[in-house]
Structure formats: structure tokens, C-alpha cells
Structure 1
Amino acid sequence: MGAISREEFNARIETIETRMDARLDAVSMKIDGFLSVQGERDKTQVERDRRYDLITQEMRRIADGAQDAARQGATVKANVWAATAVQLLGIVAIVVGAYYANQANMYVAIQTTFAAVQAGKDAHTPKPSVLPTPLPPQ
């Protein structure tokens, strides 16, 4: 091998530096691209997390609404049972009232029947009346 002149050495070093600069620029661009993609991915993740939070809040509101509806349903159910109990008590009161009202009427009807039977026993069959015989003429 021969001796390398200073200009050749400098030219080689410049070539190597140029290649290294190009490689560094390529790596730097790749890193910048990666960081850009990561930034977009992070933005997307933040947006997704925000949407999930909104969905979670909406689900909580729906669950609270369902609990309120269940409470109202239980209140309606209790009101229906109370109304049913009032209706049954009303029917029982009507039946008992009708029984006692009818019982008084039955006593009157029985008493009237016995009075009629007794009156029938006391009344005798009328005997045929005998026609007075005319007196002979004198």
C-alpha cells in the first residue's frame, strides 16, 4: 500500500462524515417519525379514555335511573296491594252488612210466617150456619 496524501485522507474522512451524517439524519427522521406516531397514538388513547369515561358516566346514570325505577315500581306494587286490601275489606264489609240486614229481614219474615200460622190455627173453620126454620103459622 502506498502512502495516502493528506487530501485523499481528508476526502475519505469527508465521505465518511457525509455517509455518517446521512445515516444520522435517517435515524433522526425515523425517531422523529416514531415520536410523531407515538404522539398521535397518545392523542388517540387520550380521546379513547375520554370516551370510555363518558360511557362509564352514562352507564352510572342509567344504573341510577334503573334503581329509581325499581324503587318506584316497589312503591307502585305496594300501592296496588294496599288498593287490593281496601277493596277486599270493602267487599267483606258489604257481605257482613248484607248478612245482618238480611238477618233482620229473615227474622221479620219468620216472625210473620209464625204469626200467620198461629192466626190460621186460631181461626176455626166456619160452621155452616143453620137457617132458622120458619115458625109454623098459628
Structure 2
Amino acid sequence: MCRRSAVRSAGRRTALRLRLPLPGEHDLSGSAQAAAAAALLRANRARALRDEGTSYHYQPAAEFSTAPTGMLSLMAGAFDNLHVPVERGATWTTDAPFRETAAAVEAMRSRGLLAVEMEAAALYAFATAREKPVLYR
């Protein structure tokens, strides 16, 4: 639910920068969803801003939910053959991704969040609290 924007140079590789959509501007294409999923799973320390309710059932209140280290190592190389380079970074998890305001989107952008999604914070919290995998290879 994020949109691809300008492609920029990042060293020898070209990186795809994902941007949060403005209200009323939603890209539901498969390539945008794949790029968003890749961005949140390829992060060095994948984390998601907790703006939803499910993650709080598994872990104490905190601003971010962080992916377990094992999840990240499981994803090593998973996107190497993706023809769209991926930029690593944090995401914004919300239960209402189509109700964000322009001010909220800009606030999240200014914090360096790359995409808005609905599941990462809860999956990270569950995986950590229950010591259960949420990804399989």
C-alpha cells in the first residue's frame, strides 16, 4: 500500500524508494505490494511503528515492534532475484491504512518510515513473545 517513487542511485546499485501514499491515493498493484513486503523484511533490524492493537496483546507497550533476528536471517537472499531493488527501513503498521491524513503521512515520512502496512508489528510481536516462526522457507 505504498507507492514507488523516483529511482535513485545508491552506490553501484539503484534503490527503489517507497513512499507513503497521500489520502485517496492508493496503489494496490502487485509490484507495489511486493516491494513493500520486501522493504519491511529486508531491513537490517526490521521494525514497525505500532499504530494498531494486536501487537499489544503479545508485548508491553512500546513505540516499535522489532522483528526477531532469526526472521531476518531466514529472509537473507530471499529478494536477490527480485527485479526491483529494495530499500531497507522501518514501516508504519496501522489497522486503517486508507484513513491516514496528509499530516499523519508527512509525520511518518519525516520519521523515515518507508511504507504503511497492516501486519508487521503484530507478526513481530507474536513471533518474539511466543518464540514461534511466522515465516517459512
Bin for the TM-score computed over the shorter chain: under 0.3
So what's the TM-score if we normalise by structure 2? 0.15
Greater RCO between the two (CA within 8 Å, min separation 6)?
A: 2
Over alpha carbons, which structure has the higher Rg? Answer: 1
Normalising by the residue count of structure 1, what TM-score does the alignment of the two structures yield? Answer: 0.15
